[in-house]
Structure 1
Amino acid sequence: MRSAAVTANGDRIRWVELPGEEPARVYVHGLGAASPAYFTASAVHPLLAGRRSLLVDLLGHGHSDRPEDFSYTLEAHADALAAALTEAGAEGAELIAHSMGGSVAIVLAARHPHLVSRLVLVDANLDPLPRVPGTSGSSGIASYTEEEFLAGGWAEVRDRVGAHWWSTMRLAGRTALHRSAVQLVAGTEPTMRELLLELTIPRGFLLPEADGPLPGADALREAGVAVLPVPDCGHNIMLDNPDGFARAAARVLALDGDGHAAAGAGAA
């Protein structure tokens, strides 16, 4: 376990680090999750192993600090992550980022381009979302006011999300969880999708095959974003189909800047 102070008050982001070759590979979890729980098996999978790997917990989540005075916007998350990666000496890292973590990773690549060389987005949020009371994800959490959520809404969410997600969600600060959800459904300006389209690094988007075509997939592909459906999985692709996830992630990591397989790269 390693850490870095990332705010003026000294709040710390923590990560589990596995040794290996550079450039570093950075794994970033989604809302209410924690990277070691979601990505350890992926980091040591034969198709992905061998790199220095940082399994990072965003502020408010997992083993990282839970400041009450942090905004938890996507931009603030990205800047805090940038500070941690800078402290870790992980410039030019390859990011593999799930759900909300993918949104943070897009913003990180746009705001701190020297830190990101490749981007693997795992069913990430690209667009603003409506607030939908009674649902279990970010839309449901964001449907509460902060006061409602802290006063008991969190317990209603606990009863909806299931034991697996709650096992990591319970580690998140409640203020952090709510603010992160609110900011995630609000999105960024320009949107995460628009930022992704403008990036020039090799990048790809993994989604569950059962979800059907990704909205806007043609425009993403035209911009050089590889869009890869993965079979036999839900939103947690890396947990539901570890081999399929590793194959798809390895394909993205082998792309050149135009979104084509790099010279000498075999089929994953």
Structure 2
Amino acid sequence: MRTTTVTCDGDQMRWVELPGEDPARVYVHGLGATSPAYFAEVAVHPLLAGRRSLLIDLLGHGHSDRPTDFAYTLEAHADALAKALESAGVTGAEVVAHSMGGSVAVVLAARHPHLVSRLVLVDANLDPIAPERGAGGSRGIAAFSEEEFLAGGWEEVRDRVGPGWWSTMRLTGRVALHRTATHLARATVPTMRELLLGLSIPRAYLLPEADGPLAGADALTRAGVSVVPVPDCGHNIMLDNPPGFVRATAAALTD
């Protein structure tokens, strides 16, 4: 476990680091998750092993600190991640990022281009979404006000997401969880999709094959983004079908 300070108040981000060659590979988790739990199995697979790999937890999540005075916008997450990577001596990393973490990774690549050489997005959020009470994921969390969420709304979310997701979501600060979900639903300006289209680095987008065609896939493909359906999986591709995830990711990183 490694750690570094990323805010002026001394808040720290932490990651599990696997030794190997540069350029480094950085794995970024989704909302209410933690990178070691979601990526450890695939990061050590023979097709992906051998690189210096940082399985990093965003501020407010997993093993990292959970400040209540942090904005938790996608931009703030990206800037804190940038400070962690710079502290670790990382430049030109291959970033593999899931869901909300993919949104942060797009913003990271746009705001700190020296830190990212390749981008593999795993069913990442690219567009704003409308909050909806009772919905799953960020959509449902963002439907609460912060006061409502902290006063007991989080219990509704706990009961709705089930024991699997809650096993890592419970490690997330409640303020961090709500603010991150709210800003993820609002998205960035320009949107994450627009930022992704404007990047010039190699990019791939992995999605569950069962979800059908990705919205806006033609425009992404024209912009050079490789859109890769992965069979036999749901949203958590790396957990549902590790061999399929590894094959798709390894291909994206060597293309």
SS at match of 2:39: helix
Alignment match, 1:142: 142
Query: Partner letter of residue 252 of structure 2?
Result: V
For 1:146-225, what aligned pairs fall within 5 Å after superposition? Answer: 146-225=146-225
TM-aligned CA deviation for residue 135 of structure 1: 1.4
- What do residues 121-169 of structure 1 show as CA deviations (whole Å, max 9, x unaligned)? 0000000001011012000000000000000000000000011100000
Separation in 2 of the partners of 1:254 and 1:113?
A: 20
TM-aligned CA deviation for residue 60 of structure 1: 0.2
Query: Partner letter of residue 220 of structure 2?
Result: L
1:237 to 2:203 alignment: no
TM-aligned CA deviation for residue 12 of structure 1: 0.4
- What do residues 48-72 of structure 1 show as CA deviations (whole Å, max 9, x unaligned)? 1110000000000000000000000
Separation in 2 of the partners of 1:10 and 1:178?
A: 22
Alignment match, 1:264: none
TM-aligned CA deviation for residue 106 of structure 1: 0.1
Separation in 2 of the partners of 1:172 and 1:132?
A: 21
Alignment match, 2:130: 130
Separation in 1 of the partners of 2:59 and 2:83?
A: 12
1:115 to 2:118 alignment: no
Alignment match, 1:265: none
Separation in 2 of the partners of 1:42 and 1:22?
A: 18
Alignment match, 1:254: 254
SS at match of 1:162: helix
SS at match of 1:101: helix
1:46 to 2:50 alignment: no
TM-aligned CA deviation for residue 193 of structure 1: 0.2
Identity among equivalent positions (%) equals 76
Alignment match, 1:15: 15
Separation in 2 of the partners of 1:225 and 1:252?
A: 10
TM-aligned CA deviation for residue 219 of structure 1: 0.5
Separation in 2 of the partners of 1:128 and 1:45?
A: 34
My pick for the range that moved more, 194-203 or 246-255, is 246-255
Query: Partner letter of residue 224 of structure 2?
Result: G
Query: Partner letter of residue 216 of structure 1?
Result: G
Query: Partner letter of residue 11 of structure 2?
Result: D
SS at match of 1:171: coil
My pick for the range that moved more, 108-117 or 43-52, is 43-52
Alignment match, 1:64: 64
TM-score by length of 2: 0.99
Superposed CA RMSD in Å reads 0.4
Separation in 2 of the partners of 1:188 and 1:24?
A: 27
Separation in 1 of the partners of 2:20 and 2:78?
A: 24
Alignment match, 1:259: none
| Moved beyond 3 Å, runs of 4+ | none
TM-aligned CA deviation for residue 46 of structure 1: 1.2
Query: Partner letter of residue 177 of structure 1?
Result: L
Alignment match, 2:82: 82
Separation in 2 of the partners of 1:192 and 1:77?
A: 14
* Stretches of structure 2 lacking an aligned partner (at least 5 in a row): none
Separation in 1 of the partners of 2:226 and 2:102?
A: 15
TM-score by length of 1: 0.95
My pick for the range that moved more, 40-49 or 231-240, is 40-49
Separation in 1 of the partners of 2:215 and 2:147?
A: 34
